[in-house]
Amino acid sequence: MASDMQPLSGHEIPSRVVENCGVSDHACHGKCQSCDSDVKPSCAEVNGISLLIGSHTDGKASKEKCGACTFTYDCAGPDGCLIATNGSCMAVDELTQQFEREQAGAALEDLVFSNDEEEDDSDWDPASGLVMNRWFCLNCTVPNVDEVMYCLNCHELKGSGVDGYDAFKTQIAEAALVSPDTELPEVSTAIGFDERMLLHSELEVKPNPHPERPDRLRAIAASLSAAGIFPSKCALVPPREITKEELLMVHTPDHIESVEQTKNMLYSYFTSDTYANGHSACAAKLAAGLCADLASLIVSGRVQNGFAMVRPPGHHAGVKQAMGFCLHNNAAVAALAAKRTGAKKVLIVDWDVHHGNGTQEIFEGDKSVLYVSLHRHEYGNFYPGTGAAHEVGIHDGQGFSVNIPWSCGGVGDNDYIFAFKTVVLPIAAEFAPDITIISAGFDAARGDPLGCCDVTPTGYSIMTSLLTACSGGRLLVILEGGYNLRSISSSATEVVKVLVGDGSSFDVATAPSKEGLETILQVLKIQQQFWPILGSTYASLQAHEGSVFSKSTNKKRKHSGGPGPFWWKFGSKRLLYKALYEGPLLRKIKGFGQGKAIDSADP
């Protein structure tokens, strides 16, 4: 996943200075390490700050209030995941306050999608009789009541954590190093990683754990080691912090300085969900530096491809604002590093479930960088609200921003692969990039608590394989989002298997869902004016629209008992709260925590 964000519209947020020590809090707030003074941002007077610290809750700015945002939580995604109007999964604490604000007898379909007759909740007080004992899943961060032993979202056992990172850690010293000054490695894949990026974490104690947490990297690293990929099949890039001069090619001086100042703060926030601590500036510069060096090594031919196992993520970071868990835009830094090394044209494919508004903003007028994003959009109601199909770039860059905005949640492999074959690959072939960069967020993966979609590790593997041919195999994969540890580790491992040549070959004939086909037709209609090669595909799909999409178009809304969103199964506010807080009702719902389907009719 309202906030005290810097608005997308680009309004400047004035700096203020803490009188005690003179440290500016431009674009952030928190506790100053120099003088222990509380620092508040000038943009903290925003309405509707979310209680769900740790989901994407920034949203789009209100022009009338010059950046102040107001949000309500009054709808559910078609995948059934209770969401804010900006698309985040809602926390239990938020639900309580939201229901208290609602009028008695409000329409329950605002909360869940169900065709069943809803019961009247007008006489029910959600605050009465709540049992607050709960535990948070270490795998996906979703809250669960104490009575259950397995997470209702991902079915992970209570208390289970990440194993295997220590094995990866001991193997770091065994890995071959690759840099412009070293001999060519025997392997063709490089990995960027540094343990100091694990020090970036949320220090302020919150009711809910933040989903963008250090264990994300530990889980992926452990999986790569267990799969035998690291260190035997890839080399390691020596870490370095990106220079200010390199960052100035992407971000404004004020933005760079605001991130740098967090070194003087015990903890701080750029937005309500974008945190920093005293180590975050270093972590962000390491992430950007690794991405830049990987891109240069690939373009220069020293390695064929690479995986940047980095955090904090970057694709929401714009020219002058940090947001959406992102501080510096790693993909943009990598693209410009590739161009400095000799690449004339760079393709960025962003499959994170959220639109990369920062990356699009940075390159929207640049025809040498083609930005393609596949993301959940829901007509602007899913975070960050940008990325509509009609956003095609500006000035010389018109046609070089290609947005594929899904209209609902639950989107899976078939829709993504169909979009690749009909939109992404034809445009990429016409563009003929010198290097392809993937902004690889894994929050569209099955079981992710924020994305609530259904892409599998096999789906990510197929998409990676399809992209290898776009630029002669010169491919850089940069980690973005993804918050279910099992999902991101298995998905990232399948992607890296493709890079090292161990990926399985797939030739899959896919049929999209009805909703997916409608989105793709909309994109083809708009983009064919810039890419005439799409014209025949658009005409063919339009002529056979009724017979193209999958017959099981609503399958994505059904819960099969595997990892995935569960909120929509409860037909009313009363049942939802009982399921979350009152143990007796949970025993009436068969199969939770046992890998079985819920014993109720599909909506």
| Residues classed as catalytic | 316
Residues 6+ apart with CB under 8 A from 292: 242, 246, 333, 334, 336, 337
Give the whole-angstrom CA distance, residue 359 versus residue 3.
Answer: 21
**Angle at which helices 92-101 and 573-581 cross, to 10°:** 150
Give the whole-angstrom CA distance, residue 325 versus residue 380.
Answer: 19
Instruction: Kindly state the DSSP code that residue 177 receives in the 8-state scheme.
Output: B
The strands making up 29-32's β-sheet, listed across from edge to edge, are: 38-39, 29-32, 265-271, 274-277
**What tokens were used for 96?**
């309580």
Q: Chain centroid to CA 260: how far? A: 24
Q: Is 571 exposed, middle or buried (0-12, 13-18, 19+ CB in 10 A)?
A: buried
Q: Which amino acid is at 180?
A: P
Residues 6+ apart with CB under 8 A from 82: 73, 76, 89, 90, 95, 111, 112, 567, 568, 576
Q: Are 27 and 7 in contact (CB under 8 A)?
A: no
How many CB atoms within 10 Å of residue 129? 10
3-state SS record for 7-51: CCCCCCCCCCECCCCCCECCCCEEEECCCCCEECCCCCCCCCCCC
The stretches of 187-328 forming alpha helices (DSSP H) are: 215-226, 244-247, 253-260, 280-299
Give the whole-angstrom CA distance, residue 220 versus residue 518.
Answer: 35
**What tokens were used for 278?**
């005293």
Give the whole-angstrom CA distance, residue 472 versus residue 314.
Answer: 26
The H or E element that residue 350 is part of is: strand 346-350
Give the whole-angstrom CA distance, residue 177 versus residue 174.
Answer: 9
Q: Are 220 and 495 in contact (CB under 8 A)?
A: no
